[in-house]
A and B are shown apart, each in its own frame.
Chain A
Amino acid sequence: MQTAAARDTAHTAAGLLQESLPFQVPQAVHTQDFERLKRLIRRPGHFQLIIAQFNAPKYRDTIIAAANAAGRNPAAVWTLAEQPDLGVLQTGLAEYAATASALHLVGLDRWLAMEPNPILQGHPVQPSPILQRLNYRRESIAAATRFPLVLWLAPGQVRDLAEQAPDLWAWRDAVLDFTLAPAAPPEFDRQSSRERSPVDAATARDRLAQIDTYLLDAPAIGSTADLLLEAATIHDALSEFDAAHERAEQALERYRALDNPRGVAAALGVIADGLETQGRIGEALRIRTDEQIPVLLRLGDKRAEGKALNKLGKTYAALGEFEKATACHEQALTIARADGDHLGEANTLLAIGRLALRTDDHSTARDAYQQALSLFRADNARLGEANTLLAIGDLALRIDDLAAARDAYRQALPLFRAGNERLGEANTLQGQGLLNLMEGDAAAAFRNFIELPTTFQSIGDRLGVQAVFGNMARAAAALGQIDRALCLAGESLALGRAAEDRFGQTITLELLVKLLQDAGDAAGWLAALMLYRELLAGMGDRRTLAQTDALWQQVVQQLSAAELELLRTQAPAHLETALAAARERFGSGDPTRLD
């Protein structure tokens, strides 16, 4: 029992709802759309356009197989060739019309992804020739296709279809959503992929003081812009996002005044990084696509462009737009390879692996990590090697290969320690703690986490402290110590609020929903659920929000509008009351120390 609980804790990304509804095909959140799909493809004889949105090819294939298994006349599946050819598309559809009762058209997403990405090319948005042609030919397609046609597209492509092929879009019979939520513990992903941290918070603060003193009466010249940018990166590493943002904006202003495009791009990158870390993904995306990348394209600095594309890929992944994320990383990989930049190639492969991990494409992740590891080792780049081993450990953890996870973490740890890379060391120890949790040894996991808040504090990483408190809460819950877990999760939430880290807060609120449910605190549970949904809505994370819809509908059915409104205003207080009650029940002990 304990093992199952521990595994859930380590595995789930969406948290409560996915834990209560174990992974299956279709996932619970897709049940209604899956039923609609089955019904729709059983109506042969006339043209029906069904648009299915997906972001994980393996999951798409499993959905198609499951839908076909459920009916007597399985729908045909046509996987388009690698290279776009619209002529073939039209004749092929006519051929299928002679034999098939319905058709899943797979691969159009790939064709669309191959079209030049206007954002990446630095041009204003141009209409997609493929979508335009489909729109123009819609009548002949409909005439030739007298059966249900399921178009499988990536999320962003569905929007493009609506905007750029409006007449075809108007003929749609259904738009179904089969996108997967990120599957990893997201705060752990974020921590693992952070690049640099100060070795020592005290040294970093001394440096900030030195810079601030100098800047008091320094002129607005290039060297002071550099200092402002450095101060911004230090504040960012210390999780002081407001200060980081302010300094980066000041640097940006000076670089612009000095007509220094490289500085402008660097400052924009720091601003976007900070926003993304805080969960302000949309703003980060806008800055990267509308401002930073166009500057880099004009500069022609391929290396910086590749690096920025990898960051953009990470941003798209955070939005669940995995196709676009993949396109960014692949373009970065092409640049690095064409340039013979082995380290750039290795870093891009690492990013590709992380993305594949998020979409549960484990074999792609494994291949990418192995290639990255070889390149880093060939270059004797130990930090890169250690980061890749850490990523391999995380992958192994995800696929339950606990021995491999242990081995990878064991190799990564001394490399981080030898280089005095304390962030990497702390993240590896966190990974080992999660491994213990999965092995059912929650006490060992807790012991693994115990020293980490101090380590993260020493390097000024408040987000690290926040994440580790969350993991300690999970370990405590697995030990059956719900009040301790609530105390720790409450600490984690407070840290997230202090840092104005909305992303981190969603993770903790998700955990609190589960813990308060386990604690039987109905008012607290409802308050946590409401705050969780409000935060997701505020961040624009509609996908994760949708995962709570079914549960929320049950709540709404039982409450009047007035009661709901009252709950909305009182939710913060209710949650505080629930956490205070847990602290009182727990007593005066230190929740971070096991008795």
Chain B
Amino acid sequence: MIEPTVWDYRDNLDYDLPLNPGDPRLVPLNDARGDFSEHRILKALGMDPNSRELRKAPERLYVLFGGHRGCGKSTELRRLVSKLQGPKGYCVVFIDALSELDIHNLRYSDIILAQAKALVTTLQAADVTIEPVFVGRLNDWFKERIENHSQIRDLAVEIRAGAKAEAGLPWLARLFGELTNSVRLNSTYKEEVRNVVRNSFPELADGFNQLITRANELLRRHGVARGLLFVIDGTDRLSGEDQDRFFVQDIHQLKLIAASFVYCAPINLLTEQGQLQQNFAEVFRLPMVKSGEKGASAMNTKTRELLREFVFKRVPRACFEDLETVDYLIDHCGGHPRDLIRLLNYSFQDMPGERFDRGSAASAVGRLATDYKRLLEPDDYGLLALIDQAPPDYAPVTPQTRRLLYNLALLEYNSFWWRSHPVVRTLTGYREALAQLQGQP
């Protein structure tokens, strides 16, 4: 039998893939995140956390699930879905915006089309058949708004031709599949389809709502689920203006859809008080894995054990020169799971032999620090040093701190305290700023 080498674990260093429930690499990190409680989310969604039964399905609910990019949101979301899904729970319509849509150019119209497509696909998979009368309104919307629209008539012809004699859900699956594709790809029709959706949105929403109401009734009748829930992952990747437009300005359109939704949101958006809190009934944060309280010199033992397990489930202990190398990488990840994998990956690229050694780990930390350096402005160092030195309740929400949170140079831990990323603290700019703050020459 051939002994596995470090190369056999190369695929485990891919840091962009969320883990599905049941994946052997999965390590429950929630106990190390502080006050994050899965129970609270379940209860907000009407689920009894003990019996896993949907006791009281909300009529409509809009929930934000946020945290730093790479903190494990997508993995946690998938774990959550596995707990929500079932005959006594929800029929979950899951949309991964990263794969379904163009996340770098996303509008609410795109999400609605993707939601309609995903709902229809989910119903088909559950063998639920919807009567034609509940498809009719969406069909009329297509006839009146897409087929009669001079600039996208050709697209309508293509959709009709492809559909042949399809009706009911298969027809809707094709319709919304094609429309979603047209906005995902940079097709000729992209902007015009968006305009049509935006300008006829009340009609589309009414038709969609009718379908949702009937789907809910049939899911219950057939024992598939007691409620319907849309979970949208990937919307946390929206950048600057796009995220404000999506979560603040356009949320009123999204809320015309009469169902319950969980949307993934970026951490910097969660620091916005006021409008966001008004627009979403519940906001849940997934904090970083916490090494200890702010200012503590050593990492909490339990956290270190969990993060070691996290590493060893991807790369066995034998592939490391010593445990100190593993701990060195853990100490520099800031409790950020994706950065820990990234450090492993960088280290793998730099290591001279078959094992992760201290030299390659130091090199990895240097490279990650350089990644962050590219994102920082000269005056960011002073602010980061100031925040690090201040008591835990010092967390000034400004455009600058929002940017730093978004860029991950500043990390948020449970109970809402902030600290700079450990690799940022290795940068000269930071060290100088800290020295200046401490009054050193």
Contact = CB atoms under 8 A, between A and B. Distances in A.
B210 interface: yes
A196 interface: yes
Given A230-B210, A339-B275, A381 B140 contact: no
Contacts of A340: 248-249, 252, 275, 279
Contacts of A420: 144-145, 148-149
A303 interface: yes
Contact of B136 (A199, A207, A262, A303): A207
A223 interface: yes
A227 B133 CA distance: 9
B140 A203 contact: yes
B100 interface: no
Contacts of B199: 381-383, 419
Interface string A181-210: 000000000000000101110010001001
A282 interface: no
B214 interface: yes
Contact of B137 (A214, A230, A382, A418): A230
Contacts of A222: 213, 216-217
A226 B149 contact: no
A211 interface: yes
A226 B195 contact: no
A379 to B, nearest CB: 8
A457 to B, nearest CB: 17
A51 to B, nearest CB: 43
B143 A203 contact: yes
Nearest to A219: B217
Contact of B279 (A198, A203, A339): A339
Contacts of A211: 133, 136
Interface stretch (A289-297, A341-349, A500-508): A341-349
A339 B133 contact: no
Contacts of B196: 419
Contacts of B206: 230
Contact of B217 (A221, A227, A383): A221
A419 B201 CA distance: 12
A199 B144 contact: yes
A262 B249 contact: no
B181 interface: no
Interface in B208-257: 209-210, 213-214, 216-217, 248-249, 252-253, 255
A354 to B, nearest CB: 19
Given A207-B140, A227-B210, A343 B132 contact: no
B150 interface: yes
Contacts of B144: 198-200, 203, 420
A418 B150 contact: yes
Interface residues of A, number: 34
Given A418-B150, A420-B145, A214 B131 contact: yes
Contacts of A227: 133, 210
A223 B202 contact: no
Contacts of A379: 198, 249
B16 interface: no
B158 interface: no
Contacts of B137: 207, 230
A343 B252 contact: yes
A380 interface: yes
B59 interface: yes
B149 A210 contact: no
A223 B217 contact: yes
A303 B205 CA distance: 15
Contacts of B145: 199, 419-420
Of B132, B202, B217, B252, most A-chain CB atoms within 10 Å:
B252
Nearest to B137: A230
B203 interface: yes
Contacts of A381: 198-199
B249 A342 contact: yes
Interface in B277-321: 278-279
Given A230-B206, A420-B149, A339 B136 contact: no
30 contacts: A196-B202, A196-B203, A198-B144, A203-B143, A203-B144, A210-B132, A210-B136, A213-B133, A222-B213, A222-B216, A223-B210, A223-B217, A226-B209, A226-B210, A230-B137, A230-B210, A262-B258, A302-B278, A303-B252, A339-B278, A339-B279, A341-B252, A342-B249, A343-B252, A379-B198, A380-B195, A380-B198, A381-B199, A418-B150, A419-B149
Interface of B: 59, 131-134, 136-137, 140, 143-145, 148-151, 195-196, 198-200, 202-203, 206, 209-210, 213-214, 216-217, 248-249, 252-253, 255, 258, 275, 278-279
Given A227-B210, A340-B252, 5 more contacts: A214-B133, A223-B134, A382-B199, A383-B200, A419-B199
The 3 closest A-B pairs by CB, nearest first: A199-B144, A214-B133, A223-B214
